[in-house]
Structure 1
Amino acid sequence: MTVAIVLLTIAVVAVVALLVAVGAGMLARIDGATWPSALTRAAGAFTAVLILAATVTAALSPFLT
C-alpha cells in the first residue's frame, strides 16, 4: 500500500509540475518572449516545483516515519 501511495504522489507532483511549466511558458509567450526564452522560463518553473516538492518531503519526513 505504501508503494502505491508513493507512486501516486510522484505522479501527481509530475503532473502539477508539467501544468505549471506549460502555464509559465504560455504566459511568457503571450508576454512577447521568444521561444527559447519561454522554454527557459518553463524549465525554471518546472524545476522550482520539483525542488519545492522535494523540500516539503524532506521537511515532513521526520513526522511521517
Structure 2
Amino acid sequence: MNVAVLLLAIALVIVMAVLAALGAGKLARLDGASYPTALTRAAVTFAAVITLACTAASALPALLH
C-alpha cells in the first residue's frame, strides 16, 4: 500500500512539473521568445518544480515529528 501511494505521488509531481513547463514554454513563445529560449525557460521551470517537491518531501518528516 505504501509503495503504491509513493508511486502515485511521484507520478503526480512529474505530471505537475510537465504541465508547469509546458505553460512556461507556451507563455515564452507568446511573449516572442525564440524556440531555444522557450525550451530553456520550460526546462528551468521543470527543474524548479522537481527541486521544490524534493525539498518539501525532505522537510516533511521533520514537521510531522
User: TM-score per shorter chain, which class?
Assistant: over 0.9
| SS of aligned partner of 1:51 | helix
* Structure 2 unaligned residues grouped into runs of 5+: none
Letter in 1 for 2:8: L
Using the aligned pairs only, state the percent identity: 56
TM-score (norm 1): 0.95
* Large movers: runs of 4+ above 3 Å: none
Unaligned 5+ runs, structure 1 = none
TM superposition shift of 1:61: 2.1
| CA offsets 1:21-48 (integer angstroms, 9 cap, x no match) | 0000000000000000000000000000
TM-score in terms of structure 2 length:
0.95
Aligned to 2:61: 61
One-letter amino acid of the counterpart of residue 49, structure 2: V
Structure 2: distance between partners of 1:32 and 1:3: 44
Alignment of 1:18-37 (within 5 A): 18-37=18-37
